[in-house]
Structure 1
Amino acid sequence: MGATASSFYYSSLPPSPPSKCSVWETMSATRLFTVPDYSKWALMRPGSALLFDHALHLLGYSYDVKVYPAGYVKAKDEAVCPAGYSKEADFVAVFAEPTTHRYYSKDMEASRISMEILDGSGERTVFDNHTVTSRQNGKLNTGYVWFVKRRELEASGCLRGDSFTIRCTVSADVQITRSSAEVMEALTAAASDPSKTQLTGSHMLTIDRFSKIKAVLRTGDCVHSTQFSLGGSNWYFKVYPNGSGRYGDRTSCGMSVFLGRGRSDEPATTAEFRFEIGDQKEVRSTKHTFRHHDPEHEFPYLQYFAGKTIADGRLVVRCHVRVIKAETPN
Structure 2
Amino acid sequence: GSLCKSNAVLEPPKVAMVGSHTLTVCSVSKLSATLRNGECIYSTHFAVGGSTWYLKFCPRWLQSGILWLVFASKGDEMTPTTAEFSFEFEGLVNLESQKTRHTFDRDNDDFYYHLKYTGTWPTQDDRLIVRCCLVVVTPEEVRTTIPTCSTESVLTPLLSAMHR
Q: One fold, TM greater than 0.5?
A: yes
- Percent of aligned pairs sharing the same letter: 37
CA distance in 2: counterparts of 1:261 and 1:271, whole angstroms: 10
In the alignment, structure 1 residue 314 sits paired with structure 2 residue 127: yes
Query: Any residues of structure 2 matched to 1:129-148 within 5 Å, and which?
Result: none
CA distance in 2: counterparts of 1:217 and 1:209, whole angstroms: 12
Query: Any residues of structure 2 matched to 1:280-295 within 5 Å, and which?
Result: 280-293=94-107
Measure how far apart 1:299 and its partner are.
1.2
Q: Deviations over 1:197-219 (max 9, x none)?
A: 85111100112233211111122
User: Structure 2 length as normaliser, TM-score?
Assistant: 0.66
CA distance in 2: counterparts of 1:198 and 1:324, whole angstroms: 5
CA distance in 1: counterparts of 2:46 and 2:65, whole angstroms: 23
CA distance in 1: counterparts of 2:26 and 2:95, whole angstroms: 20
**1:239 aligned residue:** 57
Measure how far apart 1:312 and its partner are.
4.6
**8 Å contact from structure 1 (residues 233, 266) kept in 2:** no
Secondary structure (helix, strand or coil) at the match of 2:79 reads coil
In the alignment, structure 1 residue 221 sits paired with structure 2 residue 39: yes
Secondary structure (helix, strand or coil) at the match of 2:30 reads helix
Opposite residue 59 of structure 2, the aligned amino acid is P
CA distance in 2: counterparts of 1:309 and 1:320, whole angstroms: 27
**8 Å contact from structure 2 (residues 57, 67) kept in 1:** yes
Q: Deviations over 1:220-249 (max 9, x none)?
A: 111101111011110111111011xxxxxx
**8 Å contact from structure 1 (residues 210, 312) kept in 2:** no
Query: Any residues of structure 2 matched to 1:1-330 within 5 Å, and which?
Result: 199-243=17-61, 250-251=62-63, 254-264=64-74, 265-279=77-91, 280-293=94-107, 296-309=108-121, 311-312=124-125, 314-325=127-138
CA distance in 2: counterparts of 1:288 and 1:216, whole angstroms: 32
Opposite residue 272 of structure 1, the aligned amino acid is E
Measure how far apart 1:313 and its partner are.
5.2
Query: Which structure 1 residue ranges, 5 or more long, are not aligned?
Result: 1-196, 244-249
**8 Å contact from structure 2 (residues 25, 129) kept in 1:** yes
Q: Deviations over 1:125-159 (max 9, x none)?
A: xxxxxxxxxxxxxxxxxxxxxxxxxxxxxxxxxxx
CA distance in 2: counterparts of 1:224 and 1:290, whole angstroms: 18
CA distance in 2: counterparts of 1:321 and 1:315, whole angstroms: 19
Aligned length: 123
- Report the structure, 1 or 2, having the larger helix content: 1
Quick one: higher RCO (CA 8 Å, sep 6+), 1 or 2?
A: 2
Measure how far apart 1:308 and its partner are.
4.7
- Report the structure, 1 or 2, having the larger strand content: 2
**8 Å contact from structure 1 (residues 233, 261) kept in 2:** yes
**8 Å contact from structure 2 (residues 54, 72) kept in 1:** yes
Opposite residue 131 of structure 2, the aligned amino acid is R
**8 Å contact from structure 2 (residues 16, 135) kept in 1:** no
**8 Å contact from structure 1 (residues 228, 236) kept in 2:** yes
CA distance in 1: counterparts of 2:51 and 2:78, whole angstroms: 7
CA distance in 2: counterparts of 1:318 and 1:308, whole angstroms: 23
**8 Å contact from structure 1 (residues 235, 260) kept in 2:** yes
